[in-house]
Amino acid sequence: MNSVAPVRTIRLADLSPEERQRLTQRSGAISMDVTSVVRQIVEDVRQKGDEAVREYTERFDGVKLDSLEVPRVEIEAALDSIDQHLAEAMSIAASNIRAFHSAQIHPEPVVETSPGVKVWRVWRPIERVGVYVPGGGARYPSTVLMHAVPASVAGCSEIVLCTPPGPDGKVPEATLAAAALSGVTRVFSIGGAQAIAAMAYGTQTIPPVQKIFGPGNVYVTAAKMLVFGDVDIDKPAGPSELVIIADDTADPRETAADLIAQSEHAPDNASILVTTSESLAEAVLSELTRQLEDLPNRDRVISSFRSNGFILLVEDLAQAVGFVNEYAPEHLQIVTVSPREILEGINNAGSIFLGRYSPVPAGDYAVGSNHVLPTSGSARTFGPLSTEEFGKWVQVQELTQEGLRSISNAVTVMARAENLEGHARAIEVRFSV
């Protein structure tokens, strides 16, 4: 390891307003070249169905598939085939995810807005949803759990999963086991933009879904943006992010380990330490250098640090909170004397982890909270993936005769003010002799 610091240090007080703004801005733009390529793939799948899906799978994945769908017997058998320690770990994670997400949907009260006028909402699931799980060099059974368990809790009758095949043309057993644990109904061994198009429009084999979820590369993201409107989609996912707010009570070893953990996802991730303590900053830099020496994913982490990572020195914790609300990170970890006091000032963050024993990897897998989170500053307006995104609330009204009579004048006056005579007469006809 060379002597160059693995991550730069910045003092917030030294930044101009323009520099501060650049520090918090991230771009989610997709190039016109990528969009053009993906538009052709989407159109081909829309027109030719399975034929196009097979052609693109062979071209991009190097696999010629005899069948696009994984037999149900293979999905069920995967739980017994994988390492049993992994099976047990995924079972614990699935149980915790189910518990947390089950608490998010509950009956709402009937509100009587006026005597005889009742209004309420009822929950209705989306009937068929699609989940995309990336493939390639990384396989993420946890992504299956984080999407499919809430979909199952919501009551979706069909949960369709698409994921790229391996070199042998098969879906990894861990992914299939996660599908079995989480309630996935059908699995297809296809990936990329062609999988998104297939779920959006349907093919001879793959049913069209009503909403598509799941992360992916820039081609997958572009495909989701192109099909949006014909089918609903979740929030497009950008590079992953972590901000740690820490004071001089934080452990440098743990802080460095947390920054490294976040940066090993991908070379464009962002891992940021915001601290009031110069001594902590210096100790973390030393720990980063030491811990990176034997890390298997060292090159990826260093690339991430050099592109998007930094240590930000602030004068006090109020400045730290202000920066976090500007940055709106996907993950926020607070390691201070009183983390809950800091929490009160945080408005913009996808998922917040309080204290030294609440590291982000715990939330990635087994806490029960969802690890599908807003990125690229979208935490200013969006929250984590929830059970509610797999369904919708339907509004219901029930009025008695006297209830309608009590608000009839308000309705007819407002209707006529808007030149909607038919609206007014629809009320009055119920009380005419």
Q: Which residue has the tokens 């799978």?
A: 57
Q: Is 330 a catalytic residue?
A: yes
Which of 283, 347, 278, 265 lies closest to 314, judged by CA?
Answer: 278
Dihedral pair phi/psi, residue 99, rounded to 5° = -65, -45
Catalytic residue among 147, 265, 331, 371: 331
304: CB partners within 8 A, 6+ apart: 263, 264, 265, 266, 267, 268, 269, 270, 271
Distance CA 128, CA 93 (A): 24
Number of neighbours of residue 395 by Cβ within 10 angstroms? 9
Name 424's Cβ contacts closer than 8 Å, sequence gap at least 6: 411, 412, 415, 416
List the strands of the sheet with 241-246, edge to edge: 8-11, 310-313, 270-275, 241-246, 331-335, 351-354
Say whether 331 is catalytic: yes
**Cβ pair 366, 211 in contact under 8 A:** no
Among the listed residues 330, 402, 421, 423, the single catalytic one is 330
Of 162, 167, 161, 168, nearest to 185 (Cα)? 161
The residues annotated with a catalytic role in the active site are 330-331
